[in-house]
Structure formats: structure tokens, C-alpha cells
Amino acid sequence: MSDRHQKILMLLVGLGVFLGCSGIIAKMVFLRIHETEGKAKQFIASRRTYRELKAARGKILDRNGKILAMDKLMIKVAVDPVFMREQSVSFEDTARILSEHLVQDSDTLNGLFEANSNRRYVPLTDFGNHITIDVADAIRTNKLKGVRLDEELVRFYTEGKTLSQLLGIVNAKQDGVYGIEQRYDKYLKSTPGLIQGERDARQKEIHPRRMVDLRPRRGSDVTLTIDQYTQYIVEKELIAAVEEQGALGGWAILQKVKTGEILAMVGCPSFDPLNFRFSADDTAKTDLFRNRCIGDSFEPGSIFKVAVIAAAFNEGLIQKDQIINCEHGTWHYGGRPLRDYHPYGELSVADVVKKSSNIGSAKIALMLGNSGLYNYLRAFGIGSKTGVELPGEELGLLYPVNKWTAISPTRIAMGHEVAVTALQMLNMMCAVGNNGRLMQPYIVSKVVDWRGVVISEGNPKQIGRPITAQTASLMCTLLARVTDQGGTGRSAALEGYRVAGKTGTAQKPIPGGYSSTLNISSFMGLVPAHAPELGMIVVLDSPKKQRTGGGSAAPVFKRAMQPLLKYYDVPPDQVQLASDNH
């Protein structure tokens, strides 16, 4: 090999070594730079702080501003059994100290720690048994290792079971479930805030380097038309009646006649809103959530006669002194017998109302014709939702005329072959007391946001006028006789006031017919009869002691309404309505 070729070869080898070393050095520099950048990013990330700021859910208040539902700052207690074992902390000693402040005893807590010894987080408190800040401070003095005390906003219902079906509840995710909590969830929900910034070596935030600072906003407040004292009175009397009568349950509503505002809405039995965690397939318990005032459709019985007779008066088909042959208690029509609870011969239309004759009411319904009867019932709101601002409202049931049989109008006249909610019936009755004007029932007065701005407001709204003022006045006069001596609603009579009312006793439908032992008993009334201001309906499910509406439901009306008339400053009657002699 010549010197020239040898030099070229050495030059190429040297160049290759140089390039190889340069690549290695470049790779090392590249890796070093990226490693430094990665560590720098990790360092920055370790000093970055994110903090979510929670805000309270909106309050629910009664018409007078009394708080019914609100968020309270409470403490949730939890333990870390794994950490406790690593630190050689005695389960038994920790359980003994915690049992002095919690609802669980020391043996229960110790067993819970042992059973979850491989878990990092074991909650000791849940719905209904969070602890207060004072109790948490007492626990902190013991400096227990592995015990966490976390702040949490907890929904609190000031009236307990009272109003529970109406208000609803909030679940663990802070979503409204049932009632007002569900229907107005989007308003009641709060908007969380966020802080993003940096911490120094002592883990303190460096305020000048804060990058995101979004303030939380509390939820909007919802004010109801409900009056807490009124709710208490109605509920107290309803519960007493359910217990006294051995009934399966009961429900009641009190409404302002002229405006449609709901002052009380009660269901019994109800549930504790702070102790509602049970299996979803436990029907007996989940039924407690249902607001039966709007969520239960039932055959109303004789209270339904109000709509039928008012329609006939409005059409000029009957007069109050007109005589109806009530067939001495049994009447055959369409091949089927129809009976009265007590046998009557001839009764005036006024006495058909007072004595609640099924036969008399059926004959009056036939005068209207099927289409006429159907159209009036629809005009009164039967078969339609009232539109009240609550979830779970039922339509009820009113079959179209083409599905009626020959005897349908005679059965509908006495509140069979039709299903209604209590609110539908009360709203119809209030239309009679309001000169024939059918109002939209409502339960929310206003919604006010975090700035104090009213974003929604409830106001009286007329949605129909099924009968004239003259017909309405006549019906109030006749219905006032129901609570006079000899009327079916005598036990609803009030001292100093005439009550325009109607009783109802309907057998409960069962497969193949109607029960001979179970029934729905009801009473609905207006006070004072000559110029009604308050309307109320009471319904009892299967009372055992007194099965009729006059014997079981009417006394509830009396006991609840008497103090409430004074509470609402309703003046006693000054007008003497028609007596039995007229």
C-alpha cells in the first residue's frame, strides 16, 4: 500500500472515530438537556397547586323566610388502617377514644378497623351522623394517627320529616332527588371555584404567581308558598287521624282559593331526609318518597259529584228545588243495579247534594249527555296535570267517551270509572269557591340568585272558567248544607264559620271488582262558604274505625282548619246562608 493510500485510510478512520465520538457526545448532551428539562418540569409541577373551592347549595325557605333546607359545614371522619399498622397504632385504643365522640361503640369501631386493615380509607360517618366542628376539635386534641377529619357541606332539613316528601333530598353527589330539590336542582346547585398557583419550599402559596382565581358561587334560594306553621298543624292532625283510624296512610292539601298558592301539602307516612339510605328494591320504603298528593291517582267517590252537579246547573238542566226520584235506594240502569248508602225516595237536587245520593247524581249526569259530561270534567282539569312545580305528578284517568259503556256516566257521577289526584280535586273545588275561575296551583313563590336578583317568580294565573259566578255561588250555598245538621259532612262544621264541603267514600278497586272492606275516605271543603278564602282536602287510605269520609276525613278538616282561620285572620261569617228550610 502506498503512503498516499495509507494516509487516506488513516484519515477516514480518524474521521469515523471523530464522528462516532461526536454522536455519543451529542447524544449525552441531548439526554442531559432533556433530563434537566424533565426534572425542571417535575419540579414546577411539584410546586403547582390546584384547589377547588366549594360553595353552599341554595336554601329552600317557606313563604315567611323560614329556612327549610340549607347546607351546614360538618366534619366527616375516616381512618387509614394501613397507615395505623405501619405506625404501630393500636386499633383498640383508637376505637375507644373515637367511640366517646361518635355514635358507634368501641367494639364496633375496632371490628371495622380489623375488617378493613388493608384499606387506606374507611369512612366512619355518613348521612345523618356527621360530627360538628366542636366535636372534631375535641377529637383533634388526642392527636390520633391515621384519623382524618375532613370538612364537608351537608344538607340539613330544619323540620325533619315534616315536608320531606315535598322538599325531597340530596344524594351523595349533591344532586337533588325528589321534590323541590329535584325540580329546582339547576337553580339550587352551586358553582365551584378554582385556585391555580405555585407553592414555595414550605408549601405556602406564592400569591403573586397565582394564575387562576375563580370565585365559587352559592346556589340560588327557592322560596315556597308553603307556610311552615300551617304545614305543622295539618300534618299533626293528619298523623293523629291515621293512627286513630288505623289507616294505611293519608294525605292533605291546603290552598288559597283565589290565588292557587299551596300553603300545606302533607303525606303520611313520610321519611327522615337524613336517614334515607336503603335498597332501591325495598318498595315499602321507597314508596315513602312518593308525594301522594300529586303522585297517587284514586277513585274519588262522592266528592266527584261536585263537578257533575255544577255542570248540570251551569247548563240550566236542573234547579235546586227540582225533585229527583231516588228509587228508595236501588235503581236498575243498563242492566246493572245502583244503590245509595241510605235509601231515599224523592229528594230535591239540594238534598241530593246534602245526602250524597248516588242515584240522584247518576240521573243528573245522564241529563248532561256523555259528551257534555266529559267536556265539563275536562274543563275542570280532570285527566290533565295541574302543572304544579313538582316532579312525579300523575294525570289521573278520564277515558274518552268512545270507551264509555252504557252505565259509565252513572258510575262516573259517583266518582267511579275515573281516577284523580288530591290536587286535581282540590283545585276543582277551589274553582267553585272562586266564582268559577280555575287557577293554576303553584308552590314556588320566587327564585333568587346569589346576587339577590329574582330570576323566577310565581304569580296567580287563571287557566280556565268552567262555570259561571252564579253557578259557583249556588254550589257554595248547597255545599254549605252538607256540613249542617243531617248532612254527611256534619263533623267538619266549624264554630263561627259556614263550611262548603263534600264527603267521599269510595271502595278500592281490586282484581275483578271492588273491595268490600277497603276504601278511600275523603273530605274537601271551602271556608268561609259565602266568600271562600281557604280550601282543603283530606284523604285517608283504608281507615278501619270510621270508614266513611264524613266519619274519618271530615274531623281532620275541622281540627286543622279551626286554628288556621285565626292564624290567617279570616273573619267569622256575617252572612247566613240557606238553611234546611230553604
Lowest-confidence pick of 165-174, 226-235, 330-339, 478-487 = 165-174
pLDDT tens-place string over residues 530-566: 999 999 999 999 999 999 999 999 999 999 999 999 9
Confidence of residue 202 (pLDDT cuts 50, 70, 90): low
Check pLDDT > 90 for residue 576.
no
Lowest-confidence pick of 169-178, 344-353, 383-392 = 169-178
Mean of the pLDDT values across residues 57-71?
A: 96
Q: Which CATH superfamily is domain 71-154 in?
A: Penicillin-binding protein 2a (Domain 2) (3.90.1310.10)
Alpha-carbon distance of 228 to 372, in angstroms, equals 42
CATH tag, 228-271+293-567: 3.40.710.10
Buried b or exposed e, range 353-363, using 16+ CB within 10 angstroms: bbbbbbbbbbb
State the cell numbers at 483: 256540613
Alpha-carbon distance of 348 to 215, in angstroms, equals 72
pLDDT tens-place string over residues 453-493: 999 999 999 999 999 999 999 999 999 999 999 999 999 99
Neighbours of 314 (CB within 10 A): 21
Mean of the pLDDT values across residues 416-421?
A: 96
Residues of the chain with CATH 3.90.1310.10: 51-66+158-222, 71-154
Tell me the C-alpha to C-alpha distance, in Å, between residue 173 and each of 78, 99, 182, 416. Answer: 18, 28, 13, 44
Alpha-carbon distance of 330 to 335, in angstroms, equals 12
For residue 505, the cross-strand partners are: 521
Mean of the pLDDT values across residues 282-309?
A: 88
Check pLDDT > 60 for residue 177.
yes
Check pLDDT > 50 for residue 279.
no
Alpha-carbon distance of 228 to 68, in angstroms, equals 8
Check pLDDT > 80 for residue 245.
yes
Look at 356 and 194; give whichever has higher pLDDT: 356
Q: Which of 177, 217, 174 is nearest to 193 (CA)?
A: 217
CA 568 to chain centre: 25
| Percent residues over pLDDT 90 in the chain | 64
Report pLDDT for 25: 67
Confidence of residue 125 (pLDDT cuts 50, 70, 90): confident
Mean of the pLDDT values across residues 250-264?
A: 98
Angle at Cα 85 formed by Cα 81 and Cα 87, nearest 5°? Answer: 115
DSSP 342: S
pLDDT tens-place string over residues 426-458: 999 999 999 999 999 999 999 999 999 999 999
Question: Is domain 51-66+158-222 in CATH 3.30.200.20, yes or no?
Answer: no
Report pLDDT for 276: 67
Confidence of residue 580 (pLDDT cuts 50, 70, 90): very low
Mean of the pLDDT values across residues 410-434?
A: 97
Confidence of residue 132 (pLDDT cuts 50, 70, 90): confident
State the cell numbers at 340: 245509595
Check pLDDT > 90 for residue 339.
yes
CA 271 to chain centre: 11
State the cell numbers at 472: 259557583
